[in-house]
């Protein structure tokens, strides 16, 4: 947890690029339609597709804004620590979607879990 935000890390099974089309497809299956607001600190067109080498994305989801930071092999998902239930649900869906796309583990407060275990814990199943 940071001063203003809460974060989870998604650790891929192997170094991989997060495919934007696959992430959008996975999120759509969960009822989320992501809108890109910023790419690497610069404003983005809502329908803009991030290049494979992005480092930070700011996405608007149904519940609010979530940031994805690509740090080394890991993806860090950050949102406001004061988020309401709707934002937390969108954040949960985003973390789950990333983990399924990159076949990774979700690390939260030092504990690692599979995407399936995470989905069960947060009620996505």
pLDDT in tens, 95-111: 999 999 999 999 998 89
Confidence class of residue 3 from pLDDT cuts 50, 70 and 90?
low
Buried b (16+ CB within 10 A) or exposed e, 29-45: ebebebebbbbeeeebe
pTM of the model: 0.93
Give the integer Cα–Cα distance in Å for 82 and 10: 21
pLDDT in tens, 45-69: 988 999 988 999 999 999 999 999 9
Residue written as token pair 């992005």: 54
The mean per-residue pLDDT over the stretch 19-30 comes to 95
How many residues are present in the chain? 125
Beta-ladder partners of 67: 58, 78
Structure tokens, 121: 């814990």
């Amino acid at each position: 947890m940071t001063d203003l935000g809460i974060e989870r890390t998604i650790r891929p099974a192997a170094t991989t690029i997060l495919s934007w089309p696959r992430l959008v497809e996975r999120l759509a299956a969960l009822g989320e339609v992501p809108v890109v607001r910023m790419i690497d600190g610069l404003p983005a067109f809502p329908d803009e597709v991030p290049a494979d080498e992005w480092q930070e994305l700011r996405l608007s989801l149904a519940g609010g804004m979530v940031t994805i930071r690509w740090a080394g092999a890991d993806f860090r998902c950050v949102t406001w620590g004061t988020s309401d239930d709707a934002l937390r649900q969108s954040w949960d869906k985003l973390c789950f979607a990333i983990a399924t796309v990159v076949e990774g583990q979700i690390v939260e407060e030092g504990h690692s879990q599979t995407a399936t275990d995470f989905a069960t814990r947060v009620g996505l199943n």
